Structure 1
């Protein structure tokens, strides 16, 4: 019962879309109406407002980290095992992808999965972040960086910690992230993918 409560709370935390929240605070257009129409930091950056994009990135990562950190901190007291923590990790990620507060229209989960991985283990999260940064700065494609990082995340976890419930949670989240980037994959293959920093005419500054 306790694990179920933790999982539900994690999903609700994940359902807070910081892209939408920050866009409203900064008086920007709804990120679901321009660019990629994805409510995430990269699309908010297309508005030209770097502050809103950074705030979105931090918020989406922080909610993933907080949900996992809270579950791990209270695991012993409330009898939540590794499987329960794995469920919490997946739940907060699902909340971001399909948020109940925003008619189940969510982001692709890049910042949130990073936060989750940092919550599981700081070094794991930093390894994935470093992978994203190297690919992003080399190619200027945020989506390609996310795809490479998502593929390598389960490999990093397996090499460092072996195969357990959290490994399968990382595999599940990485698979969902790849699925959510199906259009980006098509755009990359056709040479139509937008690069980091490109602006959208539909966004207000």
Structure 2
């Protein structure tokens, strides 16, 4: 990619017979890109994830927001919790990014919400140092439990202070992860971070994490 050119386009990413639709935006000069893995029932149009993505781009990071499930698949509640399928789609997405001229030189990070966080962690465990950093927002990392000990990517777990059950699940997951890690509890926030100022806090913490670990020379 020519570092002087910004990119903004809709992309189609294949996984077998399925094509995932994504919104790809890369600021000029970016050295990293963050793939968003949405939670159950959400999509690339999620206002919360789009807000976070905009903040990341303001820090010079590229973003890819995509639907891991087709419209038809998303009507099946069980499919939303099929972490193996979601992780396979994340693998296909990562492979696609590594093959495109526009993105193959960018360090890759994952931002996962709810079940998407489990898919991100499971995929990162499989790919090892190919994934430079992970941020989980209100995530369910426990759903990727067998993979957590193999995660090598620096991982930031963000949880709402009023999201009691999820706090406990994240604490257990945190103890299982052997990589560089940090867990921040956002005071006053519930699961969706709808309270004033809480999503802004998430976005800034995520941006700082990704800038720290994605603004590096990409390993050959």
How would you bin the TM-score normalised by the shorter chain? 0.3 to 0.5
Query: TM-score, normalised on structure 1?
Result: 0.33
More strand per residue: 2
Select the structure that is richer in helix.
1
